Amino acid sequence: MNACSHAPQSDATRAAAEAYLGSWDRDGMDWDRWMEEVERARATFAHLIGAEPADVAVAASVSQATSSVASGLDYAGERRRVLVSGAEFPTVAHVWLAQGRFGAAVARVPVRDGVVALEDYEAALDERTLVVSACHGYYQDGFKQDIPAIAALAHAHGALLYVDAYQTLGTAPFDAPASGADFVAAGCLKYLMGIPGIAFVWVRPGLAERLRPALTGWFGRREPFAFDAERLDWAEGARRLDLGTPPVLEAYIARAGMEWLREVGLEAIGAWNRALGARLIEGGQERGFRLLGTDDPDRKAPSTAFACEDGHAVEAALRERGVLASARGPAIRLAPHFYSSLEDVDRALDALSEVLGGGEA
Ligand SMILES: Cc1ncc(COP(=O)(O)O)c(C=O)c1O
């Protein structure tokens, strides 16, 4: 019930980790093979979001991916406003705030009643807006923002749209090019079934050429292995956002996790996650819990949050009862995924009912 925080280990991801450890042990060093594996992970991520590998950069975290993009934009002109949704995971907001030093003027679009209203984006947008940063799924309560609608608003004002899709990728189909977003980032340790240490960012074709990331490294060059320390050139496409030696072990595992999702099929996963989400909402209401955010299963990721006084205490009490949930301040999140059953959801809700004493604790 904690897929919004960390995926469980699977046979496939364990075997992938062992493949790397075996290669390292047997061969000592096999950079060609290992770099191939990084490329396969890049391509698998691209495929998952309906994109081309050339439009995907490999990062170590969403924080770094966001910093790479943000450091590539220019805040010197009139157009230097950055609109950050109040639903962003703090790290994303931090990255945009840090661009203030280079001239970015950061404004916030508020969360009201657990959601961000389209009207609030509309009211905040103007011709000085350079970029809007709007996550797809809200980490607190699973609320899914309407990315095509936000993209249309942003583009109508000449602004770009940056989307952190960490809380939704892997839960249902998502077509990055069709979404209207200009950038889509996600890490692998939640619904993509992987581990920390690797993340990806997709850049709309043709847009990467506008970026001159101050956060850079040798893998962002046209020919990293030319070892030319005197020239700063930019690799084609999103590769210019690549940084240093890529996360190899993590790439092995990331690919295995994403390939599993591909085999099961994101359509089927999306339909089942909707059923799990609906069961959580209804089951929570029946047991008298206070739901945070929307009660519309079509507008949320499977992650569902209920109010409580001390999320950490509730998480610990649930763990004692064999349920792994995830605390976020005064909320407890239950986040099943495609491997969960309706019985798992009911069992988690019953355990929560016991912990909360039949109401909000
Ligand atoms: C939506 C979202 N974005 C970003 C992060 C953090 O990203 P990273 O630790 O890879 O920088 C998280 C959670 O860990 C998250 O839920």
Contact 170, 13 (CB under 8 A): no
Best residue among 89, 174, 243 to mutate for probing ligand 1's pocket (most ligand atoms within 8 Å of CB) is 89
Give, using CA atoms, the residue closest to atom 3 of ligand 1: 89
Ligand 1 pocket, 167 CB below 6 A?
Answer: yes
CB count within 10 Å of CB 43 equals: 17
- Would you call 317 helix, strand, or coil by DSSP? helix
Q: Where are the beta strands (DSSP E) in 12-143?
A: 56-59, 81-85, 105-109, 129-133
Model-level pTM greater than 0.95?
yes
Q: What is the pLDDT of residue 115?
A: 85
Instruction: Count CB neighbours of 287 within 10 A.
Output: 15
Residue 302's CB is within 10 A of a number of other CB atoms, namely 33
**Rounded to whole angstroms, what are the CA distances from 33 to 38, 138, 254?**
9, 37, 16
Taking the C-alpha atoms of residue 352 and residue 232, their distance in angstroms, rounded to an integer, is 55
pLDDT tens-place string over residues 318-336: 999 999 999 998 999 999 9
Dihedral of CA 173/8/33/35: which sign? positive
Ligand 1 atom closest to residue 165's alpha carbon, by position in its atom list: 1
pLDDT value at residue 357: 87
pLDDT under 70: residue ranges of the chain: 358-361
Distance 133 CA to ligand 1 centre (A): 14
CB 73 within 8 A of CB 96: no
75-89, pLDDT tens digit by residue?
999 999 999 999 999
Judge if the beta carbon of residue 250 lies within 6 A of ligand 1: no
With a 6 A CB cut-off, is 45 part of the ligand 1 pocket?
A: no
